[in-house]
Amino acid sequence: MITRHFGIPVTSPGAILRREKDLGTPLGLETDEMLQRGDLVPDKTIVKLIEDWLHLHGGYGFVFDGFPRTLPQAESLGSILKSLQTSIDAAIWLDVSEETVRSRISGRLQCRTCGFTTSVGSAQFANRPICPYCEGRLERRSDDNVGVLQQRLREYNSKTQPLADYYGKMSILRKIDGNRDRDAVFGDISQIIEGKASA
Ligand code: AMP
């Protein structure tokens, strides 16, 4: 949605790793077990992915979705951006209750190709689960189940949550109530992006 609306490239390590798995690359096959357990992938692997991606796409603004997820990743990102003579404008924290997370992942349908997300409850896609933007297949994710979610939440609470403090101290943390509907959340994210784009 951000790329479509603003033309800013967005990347997500999770999406990259799922694509690698589909392609059957060594990276995709090695990391798949971790994704299926809900464990975070080692920092070194993730940072290398982001570094390679930045060298290809990062010239004129970018958004990371699901990165950084640990303090060492955040520190590495800081150093990489410094070497590219740029820095982070905003770290957006989508604050969502566990109840909302549970309900969203239990019905999430995601486009394998572009990441567009909808819900199994959406009548529009009931008979034709095809992405309206890229014609990719809309699928349930194999790690979207209650068992794996418990581990993903444990990883989040112990390793990712501390980043709120880290970016808070740098005065770039922007907290958004993610329990609201898609348009309301997107409206807030848009304001942050527009504010930065015109700053
Ligand atoms: P996501 O698509 O963001 O829900 O991520 C799916 C899975 O990919 C996570 O449960 C992790 O196994 C892995 N992953 C994604 N982003 C990261 C990251 N920044 N650090 C470590 N593992 C990650």
pLDDT single digits (tens) 149-166: 999 999 999 999 999 999
Rounded Cα gap, residues 149 and 187, in angstroms: 27
Residue extents of the structural domains in the chain: 2-96+160-198
More confident residue, 58 or 177: 177
**Distance from Cα 35 to the centre of ligand 1, integer Å:** 7
Q: pTM for the complete prediction?
A: 0.93
Q: Hey, what CATH topology would domain 2-96+160-198 get?
A: Rossmann fold (3.40.50)
User: What is the predicted pLDDT for the residue at 198?
Assistant: 53
Best CA proximity match to 41, nearest among 62, 21, 61:
21
Which of 10, 69, 140 to probe ligand 1 with, by most ligand atoms within 8 A of CB?
Answer: 69
Atom of ligand 1 nearest to the CA of 38: 10
Q: How many helices (H) and strands (E) does the chain have?
A: 9, 7
